[in-house]
Structure 1
Amino acid sequence: MSATPVKLGSLLSVCFVLYAIYYRKNDIEDLRLSPVKEHLLFLERENEVGTGIRQPKVALGYGACHDLFVNATSLLNHRELKGAPEHFNDISSKQELLKTFSYFFKHGAAAERFMSNSELFDNIVEEALKLPDTRWTIGGNAPLMAKRFHIEGWKVLVGAKMSKNLKAYIPDGIDIVGVDKDEEIKDDIHMILEYKADEKFGIFKSPRANRFIMHNDENNPLLSSLERLGEFLPKFKPNLFVISGLQMMDNFPFKKGGKDLRAERLDLVREQILTQPSNTLAHFEMASYVDLELLTHLTTKVLPYVDSVGMNEQELSNLYSILEYGEVIVVADSNPRVATALDQMRKIFLLIREKNKEFKSSRKLTRIHVHTLAYQAILTVKNSDWKRTQAAAAKAALTAHRYVCNSKNIALDKSKLLLDDSFSTTTDNDNNSRVFFEPTKPVPCWDEILDDDKVEICVAPVLICTEAQLTAGAGDNISAAGLVLQIEK
């Protein structure tokens, strides 16, 4: 289903508005929920992943870790906070942790930070393990995305150094490469400080459920599985190559003796992408970055050479700011207007296309996926290798609910919609095109021209889980789900 944006004042708008009023929520129930759920499920059922000789294959790098989940407000004491919230790029003390956590908590924004103080990190891990509701699981973008691809029916290869203990979290059928024979592995640990919507930390209240991640990694920043993964790629012949986990390099002390080891490792990432055949699509998964030098490297060593980029609303604003102004944005609107997100997606598309030309890349950006609390937005170039954009947006939206609620079922009594009855397609005052949200056909798509290419844009509403069970890893699962239906072997 494609929907061309409608001009305000048209007769069609009157019909849609009357329809929307009928479905508007009352004080008890949003009557839009049931038809939205049914059509999203219909799109998912009608579009399945290939099997047998049509089964797609994905290779993912780099890294893995042990995630330690803990309730943030149980672990941290707001009474110890001295002074106002403030963000630090590298956390070296308890006060810097409290200030940085509260800074992002009050915005409800996801964030990830390197803790350079190893002793403090180990002490906080010990404190967390004393709490009754802490839990261990596998972490890292590559393993979490790999598990989603596997669940959805793909054949999966992951590049990551893991101990035997950590490998036990990986389902049978996923191939893991990265550890040399008889190599002893000490798994990196990531602390996942979770909080719920409306939770309080002293005088601050979070506007949405989210998480703050901190780590003191040794393996992941060095992309230590890169070479081993490269040995297996030619034989595996993936249809999709996913580059992720590069945020572990953020603020890590790389430079030794005047040598920039990080730049060298990223050059190897670029070479690994370049060695893939043209029919292997390359996807880069964004994350929380604050290191300007690293982000600048990404704009020259990674982004010009990929076909697709995936990100959340915070990462969207940050990537746009880096490409357009060379500046880092630490926190952005946690629930941006659709028009704002679409404008940034268009600008990012054009700016990366310029990078494609500047660096004479054999690849051109043909896909962007942005996942927010309220909606999924996917932009693809028409007649490119990316297929079924509407179904992919629906699949991502359903996965958002299922993962956060930690349930395979879509429970309407645990769902809400934040998407309005209509939305502007741009913030441009000279263009008043709007798309009207029709609950029985809730994933509108339309065509535009960008960089002389016809592109398709689809926006799917998320049935937001009101009883969040999981937050960390949601983006990885959603992004992977958005990709699973877009490649046909």
Structure 2
Amino acid sequence: MERGAAAERFFRDKEAFQGIAGAAAESLGAQLFVGGNAALMGQKLASYPSLSVLLCGPIGPKLHELLDERMIVPPESLQETDEFHLIMEFQAGETWGSTEAPRANRFIFSHDMSNGRMSSLETFVASLAGFQPELVVLSCFHMMEGLGRDTWEGRLRESVSIMSAVPKGTPIHLELGSMADKDYMNRILLEFMPLVSSMGLNEQELLFLSQAGRGPHADMASWEGVPDVGGVSDILFWILERYGRSGPPSEAKLTRVHFHTLAYHVLASVDGHWGNQRAAVMAGARVATSQACGPQAVDVSKVELRAPLEFHSSYFEPRETLSLNPSEPVAVWRRGNVTFCLAPVLVCLEPLRTVGLGDAISAEGLMYSEFKAQWAL
């Protein structure tokens, strides 16, 4: 909260969590929304009438009721009770004791054992043959972290084996999530990342990934204010070079990373694997504003531009100076065989909700992206 940063953590004490959840449910003004990264992304994608979305996860009666009617849920995913995630949202300037939030954000906590153990993964992969997806979206790794090493070590290996059954040529997008265990993050990078074609993450997740893998700017404790575009670009390039297909010839599939922060978004993609990325990053920026401010037309008096009007493409050489052009609002630059697209965001001054923004951003970006499967087999 002191940094205005989003975070999510596992709450270990089941009884204490149930007590907090019960008090929250009985409080005045309590609201229920669709929760979980995969469900939120599926809900966004299902808003397009041309799409069919298969959702696998622990789905209780209330969540099932809230889901879009076009969402396909296998019977094996249904359970008698719902898993609840508690969201503590704060506005810029709000205080907790002596701490004052510099910007609006949220803290999420849960005692969600089903999602943490990725209990529906086998059901999901078994359903793919009949569904024949054009895209697979996966999340929940960040929730498994809180269950401890004895649990995540074996389940991570099982996940790699299970997801290897996804048909070749079908892109897999991983929505990363907030984590704190560097060893666990490294294991995901080394063991699971070779299966992933695309990834979505925010500023805390990007910096933590670099710290865990000893990448660029790993000595930084946190970003100061708006994350520096050059530093972000360095880490994105390193991810695609070390863990993706931008580096030496390998079996790696990662060719796209969608980075989102409050002021701007960057889509970095390896040339020849994805199309329409300018439109994709613009769509992500647009939905960030519309979802934070509400469904009505954006009131220009209630938004502001916080993206830097001029920035550098890197901290290192070659270091290109770039600027935002109102007539062509997406800035584009290249580094080796990686193309970067940056779109500024109109930041909502009084957001209605911050939770789920990252999921909507990633889903919208994927909707507008063209995956060139014939290039990636």
TM-score (norm 1): 0.71
Are residue 204 (structure 1) and residue 99 (structure 2) matched?
Answer: yes
Are residue 177 (structure 1) and residue 66 (structure 2) matched?
Answer: no
1:432, distance to aligned residue in structure 2 (A) = 4.3
Instruction: Find the residue that maps to 2:190 and give its secondary structure.
Output: helix
What is residue 325 of structure 2 aligned with on the other side? 438
TM-score (norm 2): 0.91
Q: How does 1:148-297 map to 2 (within 5 A)?
A: 148-152=44-48, 153-177=50-74, 179=76, 184-253=79-148, 255=150, 261-297=151-187
Q: How does 1:35-184 map to 2 (within 5 A)?
A: 105-152=1-48, 153-177=50-74, 179=76, 184=79
1:408, distance to aligned residue in structure 2 (A) = 4.9
1:331, distance to aligned residue in structure 2 (A) = 5.0
Distance change in 2, residues 1:328/1:115 (3 Å):
farther
Q: Please give the alpha-carbon distance, in whole angstroms, between the structure 2 residues aligned to 1:126 and 1:232.
A: 35
**Contact between 2:237 and 2:338, CA under 8 Å: does it hold in 1?**
no
What is residue 298 of structure 2 aligned with on the other side? 410
Q: Please give the alpha-carbon distance, in whole angstroms, between the structure 2 residues aligned to 1:321 and 1:478.
A: 24
Distance change in 2, residues 1:337/1:293 (3 Å):
closer
Per-residue deviation, residues 408-467 of structure 1 (Å, max 9, x unmatched): 533212211011221111122x54421121112111212321xxxx22210000011111
**Contact between 2:125 and 2:163, CA under 8 Å: does it hold in 1?**
no
Q: Please give the alpha-carbon distance, in whole angstroms, between the structure 2 residues aligned to 1:193 and 1:294.
A: 26
**Contact between 1:162 and 1:179, CA under 8 Å: does it hold in 2?**
no
Root-mean-square deviation (CA), in Å?
2.4
Are residue 320 (structure 1) and residue 205 (structure 2) matched?
Answer: no
1:348, distance to aligned residue in structure 2 (A) = 1.5
Q: Please give the alpha-carbon distance, in whole angstroms, between the structure 2 residues aligned to 1:328 and 1:114.
A: 26
1:291, distance to aligned residue in structure 2 (A) = 2.4
Distance change in 2, residues 1:231/1:477 (3 Å):
same
What is residue 348 of structure 1 aligned with on the other side? 239
**Contact between 1:220 and 1:248, CA under 8 Å: does it hold in 2?**
yes
Distance change in 2, residues 1:330/1:248 (3 Å):
farther
Show structure 2 runs of 5+ residues with no match: 373-377
Q: Please give the alpha-carbon distance, in whole angstroms, between the structure 1 residues aligned to 2:240 and 2:70.
A: 36
What is residue 486 of structure 1 aligned with on the other side? 369
Show structure 1 runs of 5+ residues with no match: 1-104, 256-260
Per-residue deviation, residues 350-396 of structure 1 (Å, max 9, x unmatched): 121389879x63x4221111001000100112221x21010001000
1:487, distance to aligned residue in structure 2 (A) = 2.5
Q: Please give the alpha-carbon distance, in whole angstroms, between the structure 1 residues aligned to 2:16 and 2:271.
A: 51
Aligned residues with identical type, % of pairs: 30
Supply the AA of the counterpart residue of 1:235.
G
* Aligned residue-pair number: 370
Per-residue deviation, residues 269-291 of structure 1 (Å, max 9, x unmatched): 22333222332111111110112
**Contact between 2:215 and 2:235, CA under 8 Å: does it hold in 1?**
no
1:471 aligned to which of 354, 361, 367: 354
**Contact between 1:178 and 1:228, CA under 8 Å: does it hold in 2?**
no
Higher RCO, 1 vs 2 (CA within 8 Å, ≥6 residues apart) = 1
Instruction: Find the residue that maps to 1:211 and give its secondary structure.
Output: strand
2:289 aligned to which of 386, 395, 401: 401
What is residue 375 of structure 2 aligned with on the other side? none
Q: Please give the alpha-carbon distance, in whole angstroms, between the structure 2 residues aligned to 1:480 and 1:128.
A: 29
**Contact between 1:243 and 1:285, CA under 8 Å: does it hold in 2?**
yes
Supply the AA of the counterpart residue of 2:236.
M
Instruction: Find the residue that maps to 2:55 and give its secondary structure.
Output: strand
1:337 aligned to which of 200, 215, 228: 228
**Contact between 1:178 and 1:229, CA under 8 Å: does it hold in 2?**
no
Q: Please give the alpha-carbon distance, in whole angstroms, between the structure 1 residues aligned to 2:314 and 2:219.
A: 23
Q: Please give the alpha-carbon distance, in whole angstroms, between the structure 1 residues aligned to 2:123 and 2:16.
A: 33
**Contact between 2:329 and 2:343, CA under 8 Å: does it hold in 1?**
yes
Identify which range, 117-126 or 283-292, moves more after superposition.
117-126
Supply the AA of the counterpart residue of 1:340.
G
Supply the AA of the counterpart residue of 1:321.
Q
Distance change in 2, residues 1:409/1:268 (3 Å):
farther
Q: Please give the alpha-carbon distance, in whole angstroms, between the structure 2 residues aligned to 1:119 and 1:352.
A: 40
